[in-house]
């Protein structure tokens, strides 16, 4: 039996994690629940059903819950607000099942310094796939990581065509049902750019050995290429249940977490390179990741502002990444030595203000 704290319990990751708990009551016990407050009725129902010892709404509630003595903290919060809870979980010595990629990306060296060996278990499907595939060999045998991308709903469109995309169209992900920010990030491929930075930080692989390939069917969640030319991939239906289960039970597997692929049905899988002209977000993320320090925080914060502006009619779809690039270009101070939480949050605030200014123009 594992005692689990779930941060962001009313979101996509959180609700699926609770489904897993319901299906495996002999494996997991919920001892903490927190949420941002956007759906208080659902949160109240969750608290009533699971009766966690610790529960509450807001960032501080998540920080406090993350520090609760437990076996695993699942951070399913969206955005930079997940940084302090991530650090709290690590400093308390809890295993961190990390779906809140932003906290690792913007906190970079802070999060890595706080984490002990094996303390962070990735929940993003791509990074979970890599972690599972890495079991096939030793670290020194890894040649490169291959992160797969669906290509989003606008795969194959030109930059000119993308300029006319509407917010409603951007929220129609071909495979996953997610929140507004993550769904839009998947459409712009900003999410994949963030995942490249995340892979670098999680697995200590240089950026020039991390590839992104478009795989529309999303049946291969990611791959690891080894020195002898062998490629080990993790396959499964395009859902989050296996990554969530692996995050909560690592290194064990949870029987029945997801339905296996039906190999009796014919299917075709394809792979395509990323169109860096139409979708420059991945290339920009590599540049940001190489700069390090507070640069990833600037990239992430500017994007969150731009996504909101796009949905509010303030900028075009292509204007999202264009504005992020402009903010990154203005970020002269990307401090990395002696980085503190305050430095990261200051860079985050500066990027948001700068993005708002550029959008207003």
Is residue 231 in some structural domain? no
Domain boundary among 92, 122, 152: 122
Q: Which helix (H) or strand (E) holds 175?
A: none
Assess contact for 85 and 178: CB atoms under 8 A. Answer: no
Answer yes or no: is 230 within a domain: no
Q: Is the pLDDT of residue 335 over 80?
A: no
Bridge partners, 7 (sequence order)? 34, 75
Which H or E run includes 360?
helix 341-360
Q: Which of 70, 91, 122 is the last residue of a domain?
A: 122
Please say if the pLDDT value at position 361 is more than 90.
no
72 beta partners: 4, 95
Is 336's pLDDT higher than 80?
no
**pLDDT tens digits for range 8-44:** 999 999 999 999 999 999 999 999 999 999 999 999 9
What range does the domain containing 55 cover? 2-122
Cα–Cα distances (Å) from 62 to 32, 103, 242, 300, in that order, read 9, 13, 24, 21
Domain identity same for 35 and 80: yes
pTM: 0.94
Give the whole-angstrom CA distance, residue 77 versus residue 65.
Answer: 13
Q: Domain check: are 28 and 172 in the same one?
A: no
Half-sphere exposure of 275 (CA within 13 A, CB side): 15
String of DSSP letters for 23-70: H-TTTEEEEEEEE-SS-HHHHHHHHHHH--SEEEESHHHHHHHHTSS-
User: For residue 96, what are the β-bridge partners?
Assistant: 73, 120
Are residues 203 and 277 located together in one domain of the fold? Answer: yes
Which residue, 88, 122, 156, sits at the end of a domain? Answer: 122
Q: Give me the chain's average pLDDT, please.
A: 95
Domain shared by 201 and 343, yes or no: yes
pLDDT digits (tens, 9 = 90+) for 59-102: 999 999 999 999 999 999 988 899 999 999 999 999 999 999 99
Spatial separation of the C-alpha atoms in residues 10 and 35, rounded to whole Å: 6
């Amino acid at each position: 039996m594992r005692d689990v704290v779930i941060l962001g319990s009313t979101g996509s990751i959180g609700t699926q994690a609770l489904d897993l708990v319901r299906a495996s009551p002999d494996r997991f016990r919920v001892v903490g629940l927190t949420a941002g407050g956007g759906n208080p009725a659902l949160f109240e129902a969750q608290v009533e059903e699971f009766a966690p010892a610790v529960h509450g709404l807001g960032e501080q509630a998540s920080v406090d819950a993350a520090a609760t003595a437990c076996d695993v903290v699942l951070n399913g919060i969206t955005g930079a607000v997940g940084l302090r809870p991530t650090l709290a979980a690590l400093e308390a010595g809890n295993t961190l099942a990390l779906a809140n990629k932003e906290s690792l990306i913007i906190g970079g060296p802070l999060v890595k310094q706080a984490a002990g060996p094996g303390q962070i278990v990735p929940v993003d499907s791509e990074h979970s796939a890599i972690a599972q595939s890495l079991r096939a060999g030793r670290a020194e045998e890894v040649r490169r990581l291959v992160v797969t991308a669906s290509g989003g709903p606008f795969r194959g469109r030109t930059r000119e065509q993308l300029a006319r995309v509407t917010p409603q169209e951007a929220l129609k992900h071909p495979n996953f049902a997610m929140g507004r920010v993550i769904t839009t990030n998947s459409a712009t491929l900003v999410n994949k750019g963030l995942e490249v930075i995340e892979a670098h930080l999680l697995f200590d692989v240089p950026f020039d050995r991390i590839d992104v390939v478009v795989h529309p069917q999303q049946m291969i969640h990611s791959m690891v290429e080894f020195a002898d030319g062998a490629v080990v991939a993790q396959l499964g239906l395009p859902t989050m249940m296996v990554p969530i289960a692996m995050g909560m039970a690592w290194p064990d597997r949870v029987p029945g977490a997801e339905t296996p692929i039906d190999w009796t049905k014919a299917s075709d899988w394809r792979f395509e390179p990323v169109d860096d002209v139409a979708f420059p977000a991945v290339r920009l993320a590599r540049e940001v990741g190489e700069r390090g320090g507070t640069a990833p925080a600037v990239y992430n914060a500017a994007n969150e502002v731009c996504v909101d502006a796009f949905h509010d009619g303030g900028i075009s779809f292509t204007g999202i990444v264009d504005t992020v690039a402009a903010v990154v270009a203005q970020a002269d101070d990307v401090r990395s030595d002696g980085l503190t939480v305050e430095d990261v949050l200051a860079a985050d605030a500066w990027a948001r203000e700068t993005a708002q200014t550029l959008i207003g123009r």
